[in-house]
Structure 1
Amino acid sequence: MKSAHMLLLSRVLAAIFGGYALTSGVAVLLAAVLPMSRAEAVLTATLSAFVIYTCAVIWVFSVQDLRRVWMGMLLPAIVCGGLGLLLSRGGA
């Protein structure tokens, strides 16, 4: 019984913190690559974060493998955030 509680806790943490990391990474990338003024790109990326976060939370609870859940949250977050930072510094 305790194991089931820990698995659920891990999914909840993945949804909250992994979803936040993924959403932040995608927002940084979108703000760097959208072909519009800087202010509009940041606003669009920020508003799209609501949809991305909601989809990430739904995805966390629909995938069976817990390892895949964590990797599916953290790896794209790192890649998108890193790419976004590199692109935004190159353009500034």
Structure 2
Amino acid sequence: MKKITAMKLSKLARYRLMVASRILAAIIGGYALTSALSVLLALLLPVSRSEATLAATMLSFVLYAAVVLWVFAARSVMHIWLWLIGAALPSWLLCWWLMPGAAS
């Protein structure tokens, strides 16, 4: 009887950790990816700096909502984290390289 209870607790604990990981991925990973892509878009748009910043900021709200929805719809937590890191890190590096005076 105690073994069954311990198994249920471990399944419950595992489930709670997976939900917590998804919440952290949505908040932290979603923010990192959205901000990186928003800065990148603002740097790449062929309009004035203020218009590019405004357009990238408006698009970032839609992008962040889409990332949060995807995080909770995806099947694997590990896949979520790998995808978020794999997309955010190159975006940040490209932003750093494209910013005037940053790479010199």
1:62 aligns with 2:59: no
Q: TM-score, normalised by structure 1?
A: 0.92
Q: How high is the sequence identity, in percent, across the aligned residues?
A: 42
Does residue 19 (structure 1) correspond to residue 9 (structure 2)? The answer is: no
Structure 2 length as normaliser, TM-score?
Answer: 0.82
Whether contact under 8 Å (1:29, 1:83) holds in the other structure is yes
Runs of 5+ consecutive residues of structure 2 not aligned to the other structure: 1-11
| 5+ residue gaps, structure 1 | none
Q: Which has the higher contact order (CA 8 A, sep 6+)?
A: 1
Aligned equivalents of 1:9 and 1:36: distance in 2? 40
1:43 aligns with 54
- Alpha-carbon offset, residue 36 of structure 1: 0.3
Question: 2 CA distance for matches of 1:30 and 1:12?
Answer: 26
Query: Considering only aligned residues, what root-mean-square deviation do their CA atoms show, in Å?
Result: 1.1
- Structure 2 residue matching 1:89: 3-state secondary structure: coil
Secondary structure of the residue aligned to 1:18 is helix
User: Over alpha carbons, which structure has the higher Rg?
Assistant: 2
Secondary structure of 1:35 counterpart: coil
1:3 maps onto 2:14 in alignment = yes
CA–CA distance in structure 1, aligned partners of residues 92 and 34 of structure 2: 9
